[in-house]
């Protein structure tokens, strides 16, 4: 039995983090799916979505930004303005609960062993370096929300076979591959069926059916049943791929570890600097487990410009937080 002093603990932890930071692994597919964001918005880059052109509405209207209109939007412009105009991209960090126990109750030896092992593991599994997809939500301008707005537009895996729908019927095998790997169910999702496909179904039915610019009349001629759902999934993945929470935090020297806590203010500052607006940080048992990025929208939800805004929700975290490895 032997002890490890705080300087040794810090040195070993720093060494492990340096290995991760300098690893030569190429970006995984999702993070180069549609290119990396270079400005404080999450606009569509390189994707072609089959919806009506909104450029004329944006050019002529002083009310083109969601939640900033001063008069009602005309019926003919409803495909170019989201009535529920707070667009949020939500991400999961499903940390290893056993490692949280080590962080809180473990000996110095336990902590060093767990920290070094988790850092090494993350070199070989990019999921351990990834905040995965929860969904794309549209809240009301006051922060409230509606859900399951149009049951007739909902999808059902039992009826529609979502993997076949996405990968074969709409010929999006790359999108499906990203969803299978990075849009995965967790205990925090509030979906009874723990299968990831159940989460996809839940997220579109709950939130996507409330996006008025996704309604079938907003699509070009030749609209196919469930085209709006597949494009909802495609847009959600696109925005998520531009909001790399792990890298945003790493750029500020914040890495998953069981060796120490971080100040919540430092985490929030790092994310706000990257995003361009304050970001919601959610915690479970004192450890970071969810992130929400808030936006206003100009134009259609698929082709419009997403502008970062400050979070409308207070953090559930304490002043000091754990950022526990997966």
Question: Which residues are designated catalytic?
Answer: 134, 203, 207
Q: Who's near 174: CB < 8 A, 6+ residues apart?
A: 29, 33
∠165-166-169 over CA atoms, to 5°? 50
Sequence-distant contacts of 154-157: CB under 8 A, at least 24 apart: 154/204, 154/205, 154/209, 155/201, 155/204, 155/205, 155/226, 155/229, 156/201, 157/197, 157/198, 157/200, 157/201
Cα atoms in the Cβ-side hemisphere of radius 13 Å centred on 274: 20
Helix ranges restricted to H, 208-298: 227-241, 245-250, 264-275
Q: Which two tokens stand for residue 90?
A: 């939500």
For residues 324 and 326, what is the distance between their CA atoms, to the nearest angstrom? 7
Q: Who's near 99: CB < 8 A, 6+ residues apart?
A: 114, 118, 258, 324, 325
Q: Who's near 26: CB < 8 A, 6+ residues apart?
A: none
Chain-centroid distance of CA 249 in Å reads 14
78, 75, 227, 202: which is closest to 133 by C-alpha? Answer: 202
For residues 133 and 13, what is the distance between their CA atoms, to the nearest angstrom? 28
Q: Which two tokens stand for residue 229?
A: 């759902």
């Amino acid at each position: 039995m032997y002890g490890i002093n705080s300087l040794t603990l810090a040195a070993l932890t720093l060494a492990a983090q340096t290995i991760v930071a300098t690893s030569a692994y190429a970006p995984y597919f999702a993070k180069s799916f549609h290119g990396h964001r270079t400005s404080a918005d999450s606009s569509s880059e390189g994707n072609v979505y089959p919806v009506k052109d909104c450029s004329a509405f944006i050019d002529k209207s002083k009310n083109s930004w969601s939640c900033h209109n001063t008069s009602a939007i005309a019926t003919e412009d409803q495909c170019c303005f989201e009535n529920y105009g707070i667009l949020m991209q939500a991400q999961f960090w499903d940390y290893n609960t056993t490692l949280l126990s080590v962080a809180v109750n473990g000996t110095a030896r336990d902590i060093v062993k767990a920290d070094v092992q988790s850092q090494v593991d993350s070199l070989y599994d990019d999921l351990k370096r990834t905040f995965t997809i929860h969904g794309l939500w549209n809240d009301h301008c006051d922060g409230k929300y509606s859900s399951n707005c149009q049951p007739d537009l909902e999808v059902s895996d039992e009826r529609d076979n979502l993997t076949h729908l996405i990968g074969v019927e709409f010929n999006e095998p790359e999108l499906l591959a990203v969803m299978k790997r990075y849009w995965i169910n967790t205990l925090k999702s509030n979906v009874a069926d723990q299968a990831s496909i159940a989460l996809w179904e839940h997220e579109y039915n709950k939130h996507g059916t409330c996006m008025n610019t996704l309604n079938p009349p907003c699509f070009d001629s030749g609209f196919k049943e469930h085209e709006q759902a597949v494009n909802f999934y495609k847009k959600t993945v696109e925005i998520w791929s531009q909001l790399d929470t792990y890298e945003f935090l790493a750029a500020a020297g914040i890495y998953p570890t069981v060796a120490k806590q971080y100040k919540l203010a430092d985490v929030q500052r790092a994310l706000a600097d990257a995003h361009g607006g304050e970001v919601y940080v959610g915690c479970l048992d004192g450890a970071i487990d969810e992130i929400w990025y808030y936006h206003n929208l100009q134009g259609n939800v698929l082709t419009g410009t997403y502008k970062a805004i400050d979070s409308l929700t207070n953090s559930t975290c304490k002043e000091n937080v754990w950022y526990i490895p997966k």
